[in-house]
Structure 1
């Protein structure tokens, strides 16, 4: 009986508040004011409180951002390539600290060596990065790193900070359209902090290790990017502190070594990727 009473109280008062607000809005003697208030009430109901996002809300936000991102980048229509990356990602997702998220892994047709993630399980891998990786373990290390950002809710933290700076957050939170806009801009253009990079590396290494891929692949891929001739690879320009991160990864591997060396077959990986991409 007490449980029923508590549930009733939990839903009754918020419902009364909404009904009261709508009643005031609809019965006000100034029609123009009523029209102005309705969108504000609706916007408040649709607001995201970035400090207390549920998993379902985060997935919804990630889905909305994905729709916008698909207008900004060219998602590959190569089903074989997307299926390969999705299958690899889901293999890693089993060992994520957030396996309840509906992870989605997509390939972006772009020669730049880059990858990024948003929220709610959405990860994006450039074709340039797929071709730059020497083997599946190196590719898996990058995907695991991006999943580390999702685990740590790093973009959500950046969005919250940016909303405060821009003065667009209200007492109810951030409207869906503004949240999507800020999130997409941050994901595509702005770098993560060094703290977030170290955290994503540690989380990614854990995922990689539990999936039995070679730990060394995360270090070897980062080293190769550092030595890339010409301009700095996009993934390093948006992920600062590569040298220090390598040292940190080596220390973590030394403290918790794994005997598993899966995914280091360079020849089969290169043949597979080139046959699919080209």
Structure 2
């Protein structure tokens, strides 16, 4: 029966007392269209089902997002796509910076996890649910702690703005994975793993992450100049652009937007600009 497959689905979103009326109305719709057009009625229902799935995926609770992030993280580690550094002092240092930023982020309620990846490439990325990954190569490339913190603030901003969740929704929709059969959690995890590396963020998402990240950096007590100088450093690399730019396309407009967001007097106001102190800190991890 056409209606039976939708009974459980609609019961998730509507009060039980409404179900007889809703299902009866949908059944009447099918009969009114006639048997010859019954398949069209079913297609309409499938589209409705898909639309509600899109809405449901767009409105994941924080708990659901964290659980998906945990599974994505587990897959990244099990598949060997991420090899974590075993340098515990370095891990503690990155976590200390990350938790400082997390407390002043737009979503301080998430249980953030900051991990150092044993990779010399200059890269960092984030997955949903508060998981941030920082390559050891990025730690070495930063001139000071403010530059390092600026990249981490940018990644936290992607999480705060739910960019990974939105990309997951868009890709699932474009690939036709949202059907009346349902979108399995395993499919969400697989897509999340793929998106962590392969698809660059949109220009709008990057600009939003820059803006939110800069605000977070300042609120956490770091000098905002660090975000600008690190981006300028990446831009100067030109053809030898680091891995970070494959998923975080850098444009001159992003740097100009950051420069317009702060005054020269504000740029150095805060902590983390001392390169000697930063190098002395890193020496402890070698």
- The interval holding the TM-score normalised by the smaller chain is 0.7 to 0.9
Does structure 1 residue 270 correspond to structure 2 residue 275?
A: no
Residue of 57, 72, 77 corresponding to 1:65: 72
Residue of 119, 122, 126 corresponding to 1:117: 126
Alignment of 1:2-151 (within 5 A): 13=16, 49-70=56-77, 71=79, 72-151=81-160
TM-score scaled by length of structure 1: 0.79
The alpha carbon displacement at 1:65 in A equals 0.5
Alignment of 1:208-227 (within 5 A): 208-227=217-236
Q: Is the 8 A contact 2:116 2:134 kept in 1?
A: yes
Number of residue pairs the alignment of both structures matches? 239
The alpha carbon displacement at 1:153 in A equals 0.6
Closer, same or farther: CA 111–50 of 1 in aligned 2, 3 Å: same
The alpha carbon displacement at 1:228 in A equals 2.5
Q: Any idea what SS the aligned residue of 1:50 has? A: helix
Q: Is the 8 A contact 1:50 1:173 kept in 2?
A: no
Q: Is the 8 A contact 2:125 2:196 kept in 1?
A: yes
CA RMSD of aligned residues (A): 2.6
Return 50-59 or 165-174, whichever deviates more.
165-174
Instruction: Report the counterpart of residue 191 of structure 1 in structure 2.
Output: 200
The alpha carbon displacement at 1:259 in A equals 6.2
Instruction: Report the counterpart of residue 154 of structure 1 in structure 2.
Output: 163
- Report the Cα distance in structure 2 between the residues aligned to 1:61 and 1:174, rounded to whole angstroms: 13
Describe the superposition over 1:147-170 as per-residue Cα deviations: whole angstroms up to 9, x where unpaired. Answer: 010011111111101101111123
TM-score scaled by length of structure 2: 0.77
Q: Any idea what SS the aligned residue of 1:264 has? A: coil
Q: Is the 8 A contact 1:89 1:143 kept in 2?
A: yes
Instruction: Report the counterpart of residue 20 of structure 1 in structure 2.
Output: none
Does structure 1 residue 252 correspond to structure 2 residue 245?
A: no
Q: Is the 8 A contact 1:137 1:263 kept in 2?
A: yes
Closer, same or farther: CA 200–173 of 1 in aligned 2, 3 Å: farther
Q: Any idea what SS the aligned residue of 1:168 has? A: coil
Does structure 1 residue 205 correspond to structure 2 residue 185?
A: no
Describe the superposition over 1:23-70 as per-residue Cα deviations: whole angstroms up to 9, x where unpaired. Answer: xxxxxxxxxxxxxxxxxxxxxxxx993122000001111101110111
- Report the Cα distance in structure 2 between the residues aligned to 1:237 and 1:59, rounded to whole angstroms: 26
The alpha carbon displacement at 1:193 in A equals 0.5
Q: Is the 8 A contact 2:57 2:165 kept in 1?
A: yes
- Report the Cα distance in structure 1 between the residues aligned to 2:191 and 2:209, rounded to whole angstroms: 21
Q: Any idea what SS the aligned residue of 2:115 has? A: strand
| Structure 2 unmatched ranges of 5 or more | 1-12, 20-52
Q: Is the 8 A contact 1:50 1:174 kept in 2?
A: no
Q: Any idea what SS the aligned residue of 1:134 has? A: coil
